[in-house]
Structure 1
Amino acid sequence: MINRAAVIVRLKKPFINWINTVDPYDKRSSVTLEEANEDRTVYLIDDAEAEHVDEWVDLNFMQLFECELEDWYQDESLWPEKIDKDLFDAWCEIECHTVVIDTVGGEMSESDI
């Protein structure tokens, strides 16, 4: 076990509607809620923060929201004009998992993406 908790942001229907309407290039295909939530980014946080994950999200929602928006469209001009906690709550749902087990062992390293 490692001293981290896993936070997963699940997209709600309004986020999916935005994904499907904002694309300036492809109006033929659309993403479903199930497809969008199939393989989500996992954010590792300090395990002590998991006890108060709502407070952690209140402090970090902007960074989470921007990461999620950027996953779909890097062009910020396509993003919603007003990004705030209310919009985040309407578009996203938080899951927090407190048991994280490192099955690989060895050192963790940061990727040079």
Structure 2
Amino acid sequence: MYFVDRSVAVIKPKEPFLQWLNSVPGNDMDLSLDSLRTDCTVILLPEFTDPEEGINHVDEMYEQLFKMELASWYEDESLWPKDLSLKAFWEWFDVEIHATVIDSVEGDITNMPAHEL
């Protein structure tokens, strides 16, 4: 195991995200907020010592994160909410910043653009 020169942000949906999912026409999923917050997106960030630096970095890329989270459920942008502002992002998501990242896997990390997943 070894330390990685990165920090992480965990993006956790909040109630407005669940309300949006439940309002999408034809949605027949039975989701709870707990289920949405169980397996969340984790983003590698530059290494920070102050969590506020991590929040500032998330602020700089919030629109990309917001769209990525919406597209993970519905790619049709006409179904997305109209307000994709920074204020809306923070109303829709909690973000946890963690400074310590340890890689427990031998071998190199493979890089792949998020849109190819």
TM-score for both structures, normalised by structure 2:
0.86
Task: Tell me, yes or no, if the aligned pair for 1:5 and 1:45 is still in contact at 8 Å.
Answer: yes
SS in 2 for 1:17: helix
Residue in structure 1 matched with residue 10 of structure 2 by the alignment: 8
- C-alpha offsets along residues 51-73 of structure 1, whole Å, 9 cap, x if unaligned? 40121122111011111111111
Stretch moving more, 45-54 or 76-85: 45-54
Partner of 2:4, secondary structure, is coil
Which residue of 1 is the match for residue 111 of structure 2? Answer: 110
Equivalent position of 2:44 in the other structure: 44
Match of 1:19 among 18, 21, 36: 21
Q: How far has the Cα of 1:49 moved from its partner?
A: 7.7
Alpha-carbon RMSD = 1.7
DSSP-derived class of the 2:102 partner: coil
Please list every run of 5 or more consecutive structure 1 residues that lacks an aligned counterpart in the other structure.
Answer: none
Q: Which amino acid aligns with 1:105?
A: E
- Does 2:44 align with 1:70? no
* Matched position secondary structure for 1:65: helix
Identical-pair percentage = 33
1:94 aligns with 2:95: yes
Given the two structures, how large is their TM-score scaled by the length of structure 1? 0.89
Shift of 1:50: 5.8
Would you say how many aligned residue pairs link Structure 1 and Structure 2? 111
Output the CA distance in 1 between the equivalents of 2:64 and 2:106. 29
SS in 2 for 1:74: coil
Q: Which stretches in structure 2 are left out of the alignment for 5+ residues?
A: none
Distance 1:5 1:76, change over 3 A: same
1:58 alignment counterpart: 59
Call closer, same or farther: CA 1:50–1:43 in 2, change over 3 Å.
Answer: farther
What letter corresponds to residue 38 of structure 1 in structure 2?
T
